[in-house]
């Protein structure tokens, strides 16, 4: 590992006070997670109409629900590699422009395979934004505020999911049989707005410095923070070490926590109304209850964002997996309990999983150095989507064959496995610089 240095006389990124640039960058970067939540949750509402109109089987419902994750599998890995090679700024708007076009195209889908293909392509674009936006935000954020600002990205994911439930319900009532088409196409509007807001964002000074482009790094710093801002040093780790030495263990860790927290959450996104119907909530009531669950996901993430610097990363992730797993365990063991009890357990899960949800974004961006950060985030995202896609595909057949109890027990097992693994492997990165958290 080598260290690039430039003259330092003023405040660097780690010591800089939080300013309007940081807040705008966090908001614009959160546009990708917002769209992720919106796009995933919208299919759950739309599926009520899609399934009978396109004559879907249970397996096709599973494939359609998982299609976004199939695309993210490729998009996140490719986006991470391209971002480390060509920079964060280049791809910061291109990926969301693709979402605009592909979302509109879904309106005219008239078969399962056409819609399935379009959803995969949307997933590619969504997945590509994960490493792009998170790397850019991480590399501009002061040490003191890093955990909270990265956590904000996950908060916005659940804002998108909650909004999608209401938007989908509105279109289903107002547009009749075409309600699902308007629901899926509606993602184009926020995507276009985010593209416009992201225009003009400077390149990451850390990435520029890692490429030896010192003058450009200085210029980017001064554009963002003023004439006295400097970036004094940066670690430069060869990309070949991503899966070498201690980084392999870190990759395994972030992949495990990401996968185990993602599968149950995305299953509730994609099949929330169907799952709620199995516990006695049907029709519009199921859609409204699904929207409430998404709101509680949001509340859990906000709570985690507020407390992440107070309690630290390690205690937060262990407690999150334990309490969320306990809620799913009760749900799985007592599937015949009154509807309000079962809904209460889903609500508890939504709140308690917030810690793991925000840390699945924070940890990957803190544990890898600048030169491979986007590639690492992209690879972890891709690997987690393999498990996520398989898990979501399995939900409709599992519910149909075994019922809600065994399905929830399987979800509980994932949370508890992640808890035990976190006890063994989760590091504490609170209060450390990126150079410290990413060093071996």
Q: What is the DSSP string of 277-293?
A: HHTT--HHHHHHHHHHH
- Contact (Cβ atoms closer than 8 angstroms) between residue 369 and residue 72: no
Sequence spans of domains, the chain: 20-201+246-438
Residue of higher predicted confidence among 174 and 291? 174
pLDDT bin (cut points 50, 70, 90) of residue 6 is very low
Q: Encode pLDDT of 243-256 as tens digits.
A: 555 688 899 999 99
Residue 59's closest CA among 390, 322, 367?
390
Whether 303 has a pLDDT exceeding 80, the answer reads yes
Does the reported pTM lie above 0.85?
Answer: no
Residue of higher predicted confidence among 50 and 157? 50
Please report the pLDDT score of residue 9 as a whole number.
42
- DSSP string computed for 24-81: HHHHHHTHHHHHHHHHHHHHHHHHHHHHHHTT--HHHHHHHHHHHHHHHHHHHHHHHH
Residue of higher predicted confidence among 434 and 9? 434
Whether 17 has a pLDDT exceeding 80, the answer reads no
Please state, in angstroms and rounded to a whole number, the distance separating the CA atoms of residues 342 and 338. 7
Please state, in angstroms and rounded to a whole number, the distance separating the CA atoms of residues 138 and 234. 14
Whether 3 has a pLDDT exceeding 60, the answer reads no
Query: Coil, strand or helix: which one is 312?
Result: coil
Architecture, CATH, for domain 20-201+246-438? Up-down Bundle (1.20)
Residue of higher predicted confidence among 224 and 31? 31
Q: Encode pLDDT of 200-211 as tens digits.
A: 888 888 788 778
Please report the pLDDT score of residue 271 as a whole number.
64
**Looking at residues 360-381, what average pLDDT do you find?**
84
Place of tokens 């399935």: 116
The CA angle 284-290-292, to the nearest 5 degrees, is 105
Task: Please count the CA atoms within 13 angstroms of the CA of 198 that sit on its side-chain side.
Answer: 28
Please report the pLDDT score of residue 7 as a whole number.
41
Please state, in angstroms and rounded to a whole number, the distance separating the CA atoms of residues 114 and 103. 13
Mean residue pLDDT of the chain comes to 84
Q: Encode pLDDT of 122-161 as tens digits.
A: 999 998 888 888 888 888 888 888 888 888 988 898 899 8
Query: Phi/psi zone of residue 212: left (φ > 0), alpha (ψ -120 to 50 degrees), beta?
Result: left
pLDDT bin (cut points 50, 70, 90) of residue 99 is very high
Q: Encode pLDDT of 321-367 as tens digits.
A: 999 999 999 988 988 888 888 888 889 999 999 999 999 889 988 99
Residue 76's closest CA among 237, 268, 297, 259?
259
Q: Encode pLDDT of 306-324 as tens digits.
A: 999 889 999 999 999 999 9
- Contact (Cβ atoms closer than 8 angstroms) between residue 5 and residue 210: no
- The 3-class secondary structure across 386-408, one letter per residue, is HHHHHHHHHHHHHHHHHCHHHHH
Residue 242's closest CA among 401, 383, 134, 33?
383
CB burial class (10 A; 0-12, 13-18, 19+) of residue 306?
exposed
- Contact (Cβ atoms closer than 8 angstroms) between residue 131 and residue 83: yes
Residue 32: Cβ within 10 Å count: 30
**In DSSP terms, which residues pair with 236 in a beta bridge?**
2
């Amino acid at each position: 590992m080598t260290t690039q240095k430039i003259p330092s006389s003023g405040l660097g990124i780690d010591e800089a006070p939080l300013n309007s640039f940081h807040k705008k960058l966090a908001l614009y970067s959160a546009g990708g997670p917002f769209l992720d939540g919106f796009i995933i949750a919208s299919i759950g509402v739309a599926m009520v109409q899609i399934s009978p109109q396109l004559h879907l089987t249970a397996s096709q419902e599973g494939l359609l629900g998982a299609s976004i994750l199939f695309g993210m599998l490729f998009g996140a890995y490719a986006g991470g590699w391209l971002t480390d090679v060509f920079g964060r700024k280049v791809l910061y708007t291109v990926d969301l422009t693709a979402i605009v076009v592909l979302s509109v195209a879904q309106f005219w889908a008239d078969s399962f395979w056409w819609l399935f293909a379009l959803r995969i392509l949307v997933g590619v674009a969504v997945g590509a934004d994960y490493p792009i936006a998170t790397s850019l935000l991480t590399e501009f954020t002061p040490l003191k505020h890093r955990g909270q600002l990265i956590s904000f990205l996950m908060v916005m994911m659940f804002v998108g999911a909650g909004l999608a439930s209401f938007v989908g319900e509105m279109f289903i009532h107002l547009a009749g049989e075409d309600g699902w088409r308007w629901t899926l196409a509606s993602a184009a509007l926020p995507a276009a707005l985010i593209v416009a807001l992201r225009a003009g964002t400077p390149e990451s000074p850390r990435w520029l410095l890692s490429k030896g482009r010192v003058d450009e790094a200085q210029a980017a710093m001064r554009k963002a923070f003023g004439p006295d801002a400097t970036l004094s040093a940066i670690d430069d780790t060869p990309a070949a070490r991503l899966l070498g030495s201690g980084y392999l263990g870190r990759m395994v860790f972030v992949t495990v926590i990401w996968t185990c927290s993602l599968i149950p959450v995305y299953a509730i996104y994609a099949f929330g109304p169907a799952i709620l119907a199995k516990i006695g909530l049907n029709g519009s009531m199921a859609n409204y209850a699904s929207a409430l669950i998404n709101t509680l996901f949001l509340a859990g993430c906000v709570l985690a964002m507020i407390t992440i610097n107070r309690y630290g990363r390690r205690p937060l992730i262990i407690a999150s997996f334990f309490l969320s797993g306990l809620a799913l365990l009760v749900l799985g063991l007592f599937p015949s309990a009154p509807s309000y009890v079962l809904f209460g357990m889903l609500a508890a899960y939504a709140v308690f999983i917030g810690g793991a949800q925000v840390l699945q974004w924070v940890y990957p961006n803190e544990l890898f150095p600048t030169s491979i950060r986007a590639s690492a985030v992209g690879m972890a995202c891709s690997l987690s989507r393999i498990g996520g896609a398989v898990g979501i595909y399995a939900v409709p057949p599992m519910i149909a064959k075994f019922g809600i109890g065994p399905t929830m027990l399987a979800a509980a097992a994932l949370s508890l496995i992640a808890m035990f693994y976190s006890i063994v492997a989760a590091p504490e990165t609170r209060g450390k610089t990126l150079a410290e958290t990413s060093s071996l």
